[in-house]
Amino acid sequence: MKFRKVDGGVTAAKGFTAAGLYCGIKKKEKKDLALIYSEVPAVAAGMFTQNRFQAAPVKITRDHLADYNAQAIICNSGNANACSGEQGAQDAHRMTELTAQLLQLQPEDVVVASTGVIGQNLPMDKIEAGIRSIAGQLTPTGGQDAAEAIITTDLTLKVTAYSLEIGGKTVTVGGMAKGSGMIHPNMATMLGFVTTDCAISGKLLQQALAYTVERSYNLITVDGDTSTNDMVVVLANGVADNTSITAESEDYHRFLMLLQRVNSELSQKIVRDGEGATKFLELTVKHAASFADGKTLARGVLSSNLVKTAFFGEDANWGRIVSAMGQTDVEFYPERVDVFLGDLQVTAYGQGLVFDEEKAKEILQQKDIRITVDLHMGDENVTAWGADLSYDYVKINASYRS
Amino acid sequence: MKFRKVDGGVTAAKGFTAAGLYCGIKKKEKKDLALIYSEVPAVAAGMFTQNRFQAAPVKITRDHLADYNAQAIICNSGNANACSGEQGAQDAHRMTELTAQLLQLQPEDVVVASTGVIGQNLPMDKIEAGIRSIAGQLTPTGGQDAAEAIITTDLTLKVTAYSLEIGGKTVTVGGMAKGSGMIHPNMATMLGFVTTDCAISGKLLQQALAYTVERSYNLITVDGDTSTNDMVVVLANGVADNTSITAESEDYHRFLMLLQRVNSELSQKIVRDGEGATKFLELTVKHAASFADGKTLARGVLSSNLVKTAFFGEDANWGRIVSAMGQTDVEFYPERVDVFLGDLQVTAYGQGLVFDEEKAKEILQQKDIRITVDLHMGDENVTAWGADLSYDYVKINASYRS
């Protein structure tokens, strides 16, 4: 499939505008309020954190997307509005109401998200003033500002967009994400906002989102912790004018691959910006009996502190990889397992091989490392992404809240 | 119940002898072979790693304990005999055969265990010479030497023993354990060997072991990784001459509490010697709906890298605690959750309280820190133990294998 990389992030697709500004939540003058707007009504879909402690905006956005319709996304950084009680719920509602009023929408068509410190109430005077201001600043090139306004301790912006011909029309999917950082109080939030001008039904959009999130964001791990605020939302406004996708057709498949491309890239950008990460680990489980098995094994290995520290130390420690696999609940045959670092096989039939230590060293000194585990069982190949565990990870996360 | 602390570790109970020596597996001249022997036939029970990659000695010992009988334990350190193929299985068998021959037992009554480097075959010439030598060195005060011979990178010995009156007789349970270390190749092994002169049936001994392991070793976590070689074995030789425990009587209950005391203490010693640990964390989940729920929550919190680094940094970061709870699959009500650091309440009804930061700092600067999470749901209280995540953890585990 011929994907074309395009600029603009969440404003790359036709009919979307965005803005980002500083409204006073963060201590330093860094952008902390983002708005994304579709000029025409859009269908929408969302995926949310599985954490039992769910922040107020997560609950409200979930309700708002029940009808698969949304036209705007308002998001602040610097305060997660999580563990914030009844006041927190009122504040999140107020953000959708004010945004809707200024854009002449229904509050139910506004998505709200927050990221940052947990356990504190939002400074609503500043946020209300910010919303009044940002509603007048929407532009078709505002994707960059919006991306800046949702980050917290991220070191890099996570923005991407691709186009693909679908049903004879150019369809674009663009997105932005944030994630990896926390330092101040509490927890990393992973946010992803994706826009597309594809014409597609809400139900199929949700299905496509669920499929691709499972194969992108849900296959990355930085430290194994799931935030209270995680959220990925996609808006599809149909401005590309393709024949609307309403069944699992060839067009649907093409859209799925396009959305997958964007979500894969955004999620990998999060791992590369993982706290303290010095290595980008791409682990493929080959010949798993099922996708679920492959996913559990791949994430299990990439979540193991012993595996992560070994890669930080550039140590060809395959024993930790097989042990991390063995402690998952996945059924497989240890005596069939092959392990490769890059192209170098280090384990055959579950036993260590005598391998070229110089070659291993060369592979492990790279910033990007491919690991392959072959189960020789079924037909599923699953790739997941993770980071190593470094002194800096400990340093960043041991910091005092103040 | 009136427990009396006694000396001697695995040779504290009557009728047990032990020895430990250097046979040449380790590079430095440190003891690497241990033998424990009961002068009379004993019943025995074991609990083993759940890791799918199981070392050869784990498989063989499991078979040997199927009849609840054993009279000796042979254990080497420095090489785990894991991922070692058919040769590994033959070598583990040979260790039991030679030990049995020298002690005039059946091979099926010998327990075999190994810990250390994985993926290499044992140096059987050295081990065979070592077994021939150690069989002549058994003494009733050999518990200390045996404890030294099973450690790898442990910084401390883990030995304890207690006595209690049961059925009018003094019954002693003594044990030794190893765990926390790895540095050289591959993975930490947790080994626990417990001896008692209690007269008890094999089935009840297994039941008591399972119950206490679930409430001791299975409630500790250092880094979330489960070794291929973990094993806890208890031998009971009946020399205390109490009326044999064959039902869930008052005597059984007293023995259970005695065994629990020894296993709790051994397991906590492992956490205190956790790699790079600077803090000993004791977390109690109060009013859980079930033991399983409490255990999952407690271990979930203590396994979170974000929680562990926060304690290393002496940061009163309760948000990470509730978030770690929320990402388990346990059902509970976030809006009921109270969190305490020591006696200081920091969270009420799932929301943050304004608390005395000076008091919090004082609590967090201690080496031992108590954390309490109250779910306000059921009647189960579960306590688990863990360690923080420090620079030294990363340093130790990032080391090259050579």
B84, B304, B315: residue with CB nearest A401:
B315
Nearest to A44 by CA among A236, A262, A252: A236
Parent domain of B339: 280-398
* pLDDT classification of B85: cutoffs 50, 70, 90: confident
Please give the structure tokens belonging to residue A189: 């939030």
* A224 and A96 share one domain: yes
Percentage of residues in chain B having pLDDT higher than 70: 95
Rounded to the nearest integer, the mean pLDDT of chain B is 90
Predicted local distance difference test score (pLDDT) of residue A232 = 84
**To the nearest 5 percent, what fractions of chain B are helix, strand and coil?**
35, 30, 35
CATH number, position B83 = 3.60.70.12
Given a contact cutoff of 8 angstroms between Cβ atoms, the answer to whether B130 and B114 are in contact is: no
CB contact under 8 A, A315 and B398: yes
Q: Which of A236, A255, A272 is the last residue of a domain?
A: A272
Same domain, B287 and B264: no
> Is B51's CB within 8 Å of A120's CB?
no
Tokens of A396: 């960043």
Residues B265 and B305 in one domain: no
- A400: closest CA of chain B, how far (Å): 5
Out of B83, B312, B315, closest to residue A351 by CB: B83
> B49 and B24 share a domain?
yes
Residue A224 pLDDT? 62
What's the CA gap between B290 and B300, in Å, rounded?
15
**Catalytic-labelled residue, pool A61, A99, A189, A196:** A189
Judged by average pLDDT, the poorest of B34-48, B105-119, B222-236 is B222-236
Q: Do A326 and B119 touch (CB under 8 A)?
A: no
Q: Do A352 and B401 touch (CB under 8 A)?
A: no
CB atoms within 10 A of CB B66: 9
Q: What is the pLDDT of residue A93?
A: 97
- The C-alpha atoms of residue A179 and residue A113 are separated, in whole angstroms, by 13
More confident residue, B220 or B66: B66
In this structure, the answer to whether residues B167 and B299 fall within a common structural domain is no
Range 140-159 of A in CB contact (< 8 A) with B: none
CATH code (residue A391): 3.10.20.340
Q: The complex's ipTM?
A: 0.74
Asked whether the predicted pLDDT for residue B332 surpasses 80, the reply is yes
Provide the pLDDT for residue A254.
95
* CA atoms in the 13 A half-sphere facing the CB of A206: 16
User: Looking at per-residue confidence, does A310 or B134 come out higher?
Assistant: B134
Final residue before a domain boundary, out of B272, B289, B312? B272
Place of tokens 């206490």: B212
| B36, pLDDT greater than 50 | yes
Write the DSSP assignment of A194-209 as a string of letters.
Answer: EEE---B-HHHHHHHH
Q: Under an 8 A CB cutoff, do A118 and B51 touch?
A: no
Q: Is B354 on the interface with A (CB under 8 A)?
A: no
Predicted confidence at residue A378, as pLDDT, reads 95
What are the percentages of helix, strand and coil residues in chain A, rounded to 5?
35, 30, 35
Q: Residue B110 above 90 pLDDT?
A: yes
DSSP codes, B177-215: EE-S---SSS----EEEEEE---B-HHHHHHHHHHHHHT
Report the domain count for chain A.
2
pLDDT confidence of residue A84: 87
Q: CA of A305: which chain B residue's CA is closest?
A: B223
Show residues of chain A in contact with B401, CB under 8 Å: 315-317
For chain B, positions 298-317, list CB contacts with chain A under 8 A: 303-306, 309-310, 312-317
Among B residues 83-102, those touching chain A with beta carbons less than 8 Å apart: 83-85
Q: Is B379 a residue whose pLDDT tops 60? A: yes
Residues forming a β-bridge with A232 = A47, A192
Q: In whole angstroms, how far apart are CA A213 and each of A118, A220, A221, A276, B117?
A: 25, 10, 13, 24, 39
Q: What is the pLDDT of residue A402?
A: 36
- B224 in reach of chain A (CB within 8 A): yes
Which of A237, A272, A307 is where one domain is finished? Answer: A272
Considering only alpha carbons, which residue of chain A is nearest residue B53?
Answer: A326
Beta bridge partners of A10: none
Beta strands A280-288 and A4-5, pairing class: unpaired
Its pTM stands at 0.80
Residues of A in contact with B395 (CB under 8 A): 391
For residue A111, the model assigns a pLDDT of 95
Q: How far is A224 from chain B (nearest CA, A)?
A: 7
Residue B47: phi, psi to the nearest 5? -130, 140
Other CB atoms closer than 10 Å to residue B354's CB: what's the count? Answer: 6
Domain shared by A232 and A295, yes or no: no
Residue A267 and residue A285 in one domain: no
Residues B209 and B302 in one domain: no
Q: Determine, for residues A334 and B224 on separate chains, whether the beta-carbon distance falls below 8 Å.
A: no
Instruction: Please tell me whether residues A214 and A335 are part of one structural domain.
Output: no
Residues 359-378 of B with CB under 8 A from A: none
State both tokens at A161.
């967009």
**Do both A181 and A256 map to the same domain?**
yes
Active site residues of B: 189
Q: Are residues A313 and A243 in the same domain?
A: no
State whether residue A4 sits within 8 Å of chain B by CB: no
Show pLDDT as tens, one digit a residue, over chain A (402 residues).
Answer: 889 999 999 999 999 999 999 999 998 889 999 999 999 999 999 988 777 788 899 999 999 999 999 999 999 999 989 888 899 999 999 999 999 999 999 999 999 999 888 888 999 999 999 999 999 999 999 999 999 999 887 888 989 999 999 999 999 999 998 886 443 333 456 788 999 999 999 999 999 999 998 888 888 877 666 667 788 889 999 999 999 999 999 999 999 999 999 998 988 888 888 878 899 999 999 999 999 999 999 998 998 888 999 899 998 888 889 888 988 889 999 889 999 999 999 999 988 888 998 999 999 999 999 999 999 999 999 999 999 988 888 887 776 343
B161 shares a domain with B56 = yes
